[in-house]
Structure 1
Amino acid sequence: MARKKQKVSTEHVLFDVLYDDGSRSSNRRVPASELEGPDGDDAARHVIEAQDREIAAMSGRPRGEIKSVKRSPIR
């Protein structure tokens, strides 16, 4: 019996984030609805920055500045 291909979720888009200190965060989820505006993928940076602020507030350790954001390759 043939295996079915996995469906790609269209609810979230995955991004790789590179920080100024050289650290990297892979496969950060951004809701696809946030990317539909005129900013496109630039809006992902704002969403990820907001996520980082929430994480920093909970952990007590701030995250560095974001150097670049790009879409993760589709697997």
Structure 2
Amino acid sequence: MARQKINSEFTAFDVVYEDGSRSSNRKVASSEVAGPNGHAVAKAIIEAQDRKIAELSGRPRGAIKSITRSTGR
């Protein structure tokens, strides 16, 4: 069985939106979420990513209900 390389540059988050939709493994730079307010910072970064994606695609995302760190599967 091959070993998987662990990428410590990014932390992955699973996002649940208020409309019930989900987005898995959203990447945020680990250096950004290292402090005590890591989840709040991650949420702000993911919201900014969503705004940029919405701008490019013309399809807005709903508000974020919750985020959790992704677990390795």
TM over 0.5: yes
Partner residue in 2 for 1:64 = 62
- How many aligned residue pairs are there? 73
* CA shift for structure 1 position 38: 3.6
TM-score, reference length from structure 2 = 0.90
| AA partner of residue 30 (structure 1) | V
Partner residue in 2 for 1:32 = 30
Deviation digits for residues 32-71 of structure 1 (CA, Å, limit 9, x no counterpart): 1111234122211001000000000001111000000001
What is the CA–CA distance in structure 2 between the aligned matches of 1:66 and 1:41, rounded to whole Å?
A: 12
Percent identity between matched residues is 58
Higher mean Cα deviation, 30-39 or 53-62? Answer: 30-39
Runs of 4+ off more than 6 Å: none
Q: Give ranges in structure 2 of 5+ residues lacking alignment.
A: none
Q: Which has the larger radius of gyration?
A: 1
TM-score, reference length from structure 1 = 0.88
RMSD: 1.2
Which secondary structure does the structure 2 equivalent of 1:14 belong to?
A: strand
